[in-house]
């Protein structure tokens, strides 16, 4: 007969304590699951309207777009092909560091209508590196869609064509966005408690 797991108080409490602390590191919810879902439907209608009539190529930047992308494209009632570019700031912290490309495009976008999707447009440095790379491949049209936009932090002359939400200068996590690769699985966008990155062993703090 299989032995039932020992439900001693210490065995039950330990994982819960860890989970609790992890959630407490998020100071507050900035954008709820519901708000995200409703906004994505509106964005998808706009994109459909602008891209109808031709097959589009969606180019998504890894890794932060994972949730936004999945929700957005399932609401796009259009023929499309999907590809990814891997872009990463050097290191695990969140200071804008040296940008490295970890994955190149595989689809040929020459003459195609391309929608470039990213999680958040902050200083614009990432986009200002990625855009010329795609433009050099001679797409017919290139539009940018981001889930979040922090216009107050912009240092580059870049704007997105489709924006989910404009937000103030908070360091946010969840719904794909990370701090040191954590919190991506939260279903909402939340403001990270400053203590969470001060306690972190990562050398860099948020931008």
Catalytic residue among 71, 118, 122, 149: 122
The Cα 63–Cα 145 span in angstroms is 15
Binders of Mg ion in range 7-66 (CB under 5 A): 64
Residue in 43, 84, 114, 124 binding ligand IMP, rule: CB under 6 A: 124
> Is 119 a residue that touches ligand IMP (CB under 6 A)?
yes
> Is 130 a residue that touches ligand IMP (CB under 6 A)?
no
Closest CB 119 distance from Mg ion, rounded Å: 5
Binders of ligand IMP in range 21-80 (CB under 6 A): 64
Beta pairing class for 113-121 and 56-62: parallel
Q: How far apart are the first and last CA of the chain?
A: 56
Residue matched to tokens 């360091």: 171
By a kind-dependent CB cut-off of 5 to 8 A, residue 109 interacts, out of Mg ion, ligand IMP, none, with none
> Is 124 a residue that touches Mg ion (CB under 5 A)?
no
By a kind-dependent CB cut-off of 5 to 8 A, residue 122 interacts, out of ligand IMP, Mg ion, none, with ligand IMP
Q: Is 122 a catalytic residue?
A: yes
> Is 122 a residue that touches ligand IMP (CB under 6 A)?
yes
> Is 206 a residue that touches Mg ion (CB under 5 A)?
no
If binding means CB under 6 A, how many residues of this protein chain bind ligand IMP? Answer: 17
> Is 139 a residue that touches ligand IMP (CB under 6 A)?
no
If binding means CB under 5 A, how many residues of this protein chain bind Mg ion? Answer: 1
Residue matched to tokens 């940008």: 99
Binding site for ligand IMP (CB under 6 A): 64, 94, 96, 118-126, 171-173, 177, 207
**Residues belonging to the active site:** 122
């Amino acid at each position: 007969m299989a032995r039932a797991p020992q439900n001693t108080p210490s065995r039950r409490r330990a994982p819960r304590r860890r989970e609790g602390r992890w959630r407490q590191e998020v100071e507050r919810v900035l954008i709820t699951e519901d708000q995200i879902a409703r906004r994505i439907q509106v964005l998808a209608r706009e994109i459909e309207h602008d891209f109808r009539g031709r097959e589009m190529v969606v180019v998504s930047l890894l890794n932060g777009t994972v949730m936004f992308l999945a929700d957005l494209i399932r609401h796009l009632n259009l023929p499309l092909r999907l590809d990814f570019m891997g872009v990463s700031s050097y290191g695990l912290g969140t200071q804008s560091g040296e940008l490295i490309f970890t994955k190149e495009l595989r689809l040929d976008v020459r003459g195609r209508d391309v929608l470039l999707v990213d999680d958040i447009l902050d200083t614009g440095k990432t986009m200002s590196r990625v855009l010329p790379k795609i433009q050099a491949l001679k797409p017919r049209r290139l539009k940018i869609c981001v889930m979040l936009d922090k216009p107050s932090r912009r240092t580059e002359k870049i704007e997105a064509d489709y924006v989910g939400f404009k937000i103030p200068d908070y360091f946010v996590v969840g719904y794909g966005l990370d701090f040191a690769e954590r919190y991506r699985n939260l279903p909402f966008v939340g403001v990270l408690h400053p203590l969470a990155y001060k306690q972190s062993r990562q050398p860099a703090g948020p931008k």
